[in-house]
Amino acid sequence: MKDTRKELFHTYVEAKTEKISYPYLEKYKVREADGDIIEGQKRAADHYKKVSGSVLKRFLALGIPGFFITLLFVAFGSVIYDKDTRIIIMLFGALIGTGLSLYSFLRFLKERKSEEYVGAKDKLDSFDNAIAFNLGAPSDAKAVDLIVPVQKKKLDGSLGFSVLRKNLTYKIFKKGEDVYVISSHFLFLLPKEKVTLFEINPKAAPFQNWDKKESYASERYKPYKIGYNSQSYTYFVKNTAELNFRIENEDFKAVIMPWSTPDIEELLNIKATEMPKKEKKK
């Protein structure tokens, strides 16, 4: 059965201007940060994007050819009549292609630890913290990770076809009975009274980025068994928690990373439950 729920944190990024908007969160916007801090964050974000983009391009420059080399040798080998020759050709191609992809990925991980990359990320993080302070977030605000669809918005207002599912971090905190969310330079009120269900989804959820200083395979994240497919450049993680909302007769969800589930449970005073297993068809 097709999932018809919309994603509450769905994000649009406008072409050229990189302006961010939220089609479903807009009605819950409280305010935005002061202009000078926003400008500083934008400069830091542009620099980080440039540095991380260069690292990614170098990664793809070898990773993509490695994938196609494997396909080429497999295709060529499949038309060879002699079985032994066919196997040798296919294995040779697979070794070269896999070797290139693996080397590219290891170099990618190394460059993400470089002084330039880490410095750009630290600078961006410092502005993110300044914005959080400007918007009234307490020092103990939770940094919560979600998997969010990000879509390009063209200059004519139409939406791009492709949707990237990204792992993004939001500052979330509680004041009185209200729960607030900081995304980019905006402060939103989380409609917690609209929450209908909080469930753990055992299926692997895909996402296409990893911007944290620590590797996804580090001790911090090892318990969550995050997978990575070097051919599709996609990460996978199981046991995400889906926070469900019912807003104006429409169903929404927010996909929470497993390590952030306890923070949401604490903030909303709600316990995530196991998703019922579907009965197998006889």
Instruction: List the domain boundaries for the chain.
Output: 6-30+138-274, 41-111
Encoding tokens for residue 131? 């914005």
Q: Which pLDDT score, from 0 to 100, does residue 73 have?
A: 67
Encoding tokens for residue 32? 């935005």
Q: Which pLDDT score, from 0 to 100, does residue 28 have?
A: 96
Q: Which pLDDT score, from 0 to 100, does residue 202 have?
A: 95
Q: Which pLDDT score, from 0 to 100, does residue 260 have?
A: 97
Q: Which pLDDT score, from 0 to 100, does residue 74 have?
A: 67
Upper half-sphere CA count for residue 177 (Cβ side, 13 Å)? 3
Distance CA(199)–CA(188), nearest Å, equals: 23
Mean pLDDT, 10 residues at a time, the chain of 282 residues: 91 86 95 89 82 78 71 67 72 75 78 80 82 92 96 85 91 94 95 96 94 88 93 92 96 97 96 79 52
Encoding tokens for residue 183? 């995304």
Chain position carrying tokens 């469930």: 199
Q: Which pLDDT score, from 0 to 100, does residue 258 have?
A: 97
Q: Which pLDDT score, from 0 to 100, does residue 2 have?
A: 83
Q: Which pLDDT score, from 0 to 100, does residue 15 have?
A: 82
Chain position carrying tokens 């009549």: 81
Distance CA(261)–CA(252), nearest Å, equals: 18
